[in-house]
Amino acid sequence: MSEQTYYGSCHCGAVEFEATLALDQVVTCNCSICRRQGTILGFTSTKKFTLLKGAENLSDYQFGSHNIHHEFCKTCGVKSFSKGVGPDGVEMRAINVRCLEDVDIDSLSPQKFDGASL
Ligand SMILES: [Zn+2]
């Protein structure tokens, strides 16, 4: 599967974005936040992510080592992406692919990521 540009949003539509990523390397994670939120995550560089609207409507939640900014919509509470720094020091976005339009979630084969052991 090659990279493609997807449109995504929170539930109420206050937050909209575009992200370019490949959906053949998505993960589910068993860490304390992912298991509660049920996210399926795809990763891309910040360069391939554009926030179209809603910057003022995002709230930033951090916990643990505070490496990751879990940004969610203040109105509907949906977390459509988060921001962090990858192992190579490059700023990354983790996209909740459940928030992308025109993606058949059931066609994806998420790898299990053991975030709980980190
Ligand atoms: Zn919203």
CA of 73 to the centre of ligand 1 (A): 5
Q: What is the largest CA-CA distance in the chain?
A: 35
Single out the residue of 102, 92, 53 nearest to residue 73, CA to CA.
53
| Higher pLDDT, residue 40 or 1 | 40
What pLDDT is recorded for position 66? 84
Q: How far apart are CA 39 and CA 12, in angstroms?
A: 18
Q: What is the dihedral of CA 36, 30, 4, 74, to 10 degrees?
A: 30
Does residue 53 have a pLDDT over 80? Answer: yes
CATH 2.170.150.70 fits 4-117, yes or no: yes
CA of 56 to the centre of ligand 1 (A): 11
- Cα(first)–Cα(last) distance of the chain, in Å? 29
At 90, the amino acid letter reads: V
Confidence of residue 58 (pLDDT cuts 50, 70, 90): very high
Does residue 75 have a pLDDT over 90? Answer: yes
CA of 54 to the centre of ligand 1 (A): 9
Who surrounds ion ligand 1 at CB < 5 A?
A: 10, 12, 14, 73, 75-76
Q: What digits encode the pLDDT tens for the residues 82-92?
A: 999 988 888 99
CA of 57 to the centre of ligand 1 (A): 8
Does residue 51 have a pLDDT over 90? Answer: yes
CA of 47 to the centre of ligand 1 (A): 23
